[in-house]
Amino acid sequence: MVDPRRPRADGSDVLDALARSLPSAALLTDRDVMESYRRDQAALPGAGMPLAVVRPRLAAEVQTTLRIASAGGVPVVPRGAGSGLSGGANAVDGGLVLSLTAMDRVLQIDRANLLAVVEPGVINGDLSAAAAERGLWYPPDPASAGFSSIGGNIATNAGGLCCAKYGVTRDSVLGLQVVLADGSLIRTGGRTVKRVAGYDLTGLFVGSEGTLGVVTEATLRLRPAPPPPATLVAFFGDLKSAGTAIAEITSEVVPSVLELMDRHTVRAVDEWKHMDLDLDAAAMLIGRSDAGGEQAANQIERMARACTSAGATLVARSSDPMEADLLMNARRLALPALERQGTILLDDVAVPIGRITELFEAIERIAADHAVVIGTFGHAGDGNMHPTLVYDHRDPEHVARARAAFQDILRAAVDLGGTITGEHGVGLLKRPWLTEELGDDGFRVHAAVKHALDPEGILNPGKVL
């Protein structure tokens, strides 16, 4: 198996083979150009210098690349738009970066069968726009929808703002075309909603972070466009009250959106965009129902009662689309608003919804213990929170405190029966914690699957496992 830390030969034979076999525009070797392909958006994990960057336009070119890399024992790091937050797309010294951004075609929107067929480089928001032109909707809606790719969404099983009701990316993937480490091409799943012939290989590849194969085409489930949503916003004097409201809401209704922002995040967004938010509140909760008509109004009213009962300081309802979109935009701005205040270390933990209050309490305690600012926001409807540490990367002591707080948040999530990552992936950032969550035997099974599909270990080595 390839060791990403072990020095390798100069790779000239592999480069020569790639140059003979691929279009000239598909192979990049200039170090200055390759610099922009070395890492994703995670600040802490290290990144190597690749031998070359390959930018295929066709699945056959992906096959060629992997055949040559496999024969030469050269590692390959699949890469989407580079918006990942766990170091999962960081380059390996002497390896290849396989950038799939040029494979960006929406191949089909099938209204009759409610599906789309796309290449991995398609941007999430572009697919949504193409579906909307046909009166359809693609539910996975991460805050990065405007710049993250479908291939990257599939690699990390991304969630998003609508996951409380419509699930995560895996719930919208019907089938995949995948190139394996040896260059062979397989298809998994298909165009039917139900399919139980053989193992669920589609589900296996979704969330595998490029360690098992390279997705070159995806068949995705679409839905009819929902009615305009009704929206609720509630402010709370403390996070515990917000957690109580979240648990009550999710036990009574299934909101299409249920998102939370804490005081630090609300203030960061308002300082930037001047949206006249309640800066004294400890938390802001945004709820939505897309059930339509009287049913939506009823669900919003039940959410409002849960918030009031939990001690909300203000509850407001809105059916005005522009006002509602402004509130949703505030949530989408959470991460870039915190980025304006310093270097960020974004966590991605999820706990059972009934324990979300305990998670909030643990985050507040960890922030105080390590004297770091933590802005918390995320998907309250499914217990997936993004505690975001803001620190000064120029101060070694500050960096050390941030790292320690990050580890303590992971520990808190695991201890609460949760997970170290809800949608961003393990990558490099959380790799040491995987055995803690899976257990020794669970980890052994993962390693066996990896070896079966990538026996030489060339695909994204050092990531996840």
Q: In whole angstroms, how far apart are CA 340 and each of 66, 386, 392?
A: 40, 17, 12
Measure CA 163 to chain center.
12
Which residue pairs from 412-417 have beta carbons closer than 8 angstroms and sit at least 24 positions apart in sequence? 412/349, 412/359, 412/362, 412/363, 412/366, 413/349, 413/350, 413/351, 413/359, 416/351, 416/352, 416/355, 416/358, 416/359, 416/362, 417/351, 417/352, 417/355
pTM score, two decimals? 0.94
pLDDT of residue 322: 84
Beta strand 115-118 pairing with 52-54 = unpaired
* pLDDT tens string 369-413: 999 999 999 999 999 999 999 999 999 999 999 999 999 999 999
pLDDT of residue 8: 46
Cβ atoms of 346 and 395 closer than 8 Å: no
pLDDT of residue 3: 55
Give me the residues of the chain with pLDDT under 70, please: 1-10
pLDDT of residue 112: 96
The residue assigned the tokens 């466009």 is 225
The residue assigned the tokens 């194969």 is 213
pLDDT of residue 5: 43
pLDDT of residue 88: 96
pLDDT of residue 4: 47
Burial code of 281-302, b = ≥16 C-beta within 10 A, e = fewer? bbbbbbbbbbbeeeebeebbeb
Tell me the H-state helices in 197-292.
201-205, 239-252, 263-273
What are the φ/ψ torsions at residue 117 (nearest 5 degrees)? -120, 125
Residues 6+ apart with CB under 8 A from 182: 66, 67, 70
Name the token pair of 343.
């270097």
